């Protein structure tokens, strides 16, 4: 069970928060006009956007702490 949980967390990290953020990269390419034949599940897109907002909020907090 622990192996399954670890694999799930690793996959979610690659999709949403990892260095590559695959979902964000695909959505960016689509905005640039790349045609796709498949759609990413909207729940994955929403989760990635939520994670990015959290990351931006953390960066703001860290910047405020460092400026003090």
How far is 50 from 38, CA to CA, in rounded Å? 22
pTM: 0.56
How far is 38 from 27, CA to CA, in rounded Å? 12
Name the token pair of 29: 């390419």
Cα 62 to its chain centre, rounded Å, is 20
How far is 22 from 28, CA to CA, in rounded Å? 10
Instruction: Kindly report, residue by residue over 16-56, the tens digit of the pLDDT.
Output: 776 678 888 888 899 999 998 988 889 888 888 888 777 77
pLDDT at position 25, please? Answer: 86
Which residues form the domain of 59? 2-67
The pLDDT of residue 13 is above 70: yes
Q: Please state the domain count of the chain.
A: 1
Q: Determine contact, residues 44/23, Cβ cutoff 8 Å.
A: yes
């Amino acid at each position: 069970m622990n192996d399954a949980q670890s694999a799930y967390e690793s996959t979610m990290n690659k999709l949403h928060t990892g260095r590559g953020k695959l979902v964000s990269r695909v959505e960016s390419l689509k905005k640039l006009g790349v045609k796709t034949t498949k759609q990413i599940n909207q729940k994955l897109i929403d989760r990635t956007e939520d994670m990015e907002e959290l990351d931006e909020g953390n960066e703001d907090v860290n910047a405020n702490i460092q400026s003090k």
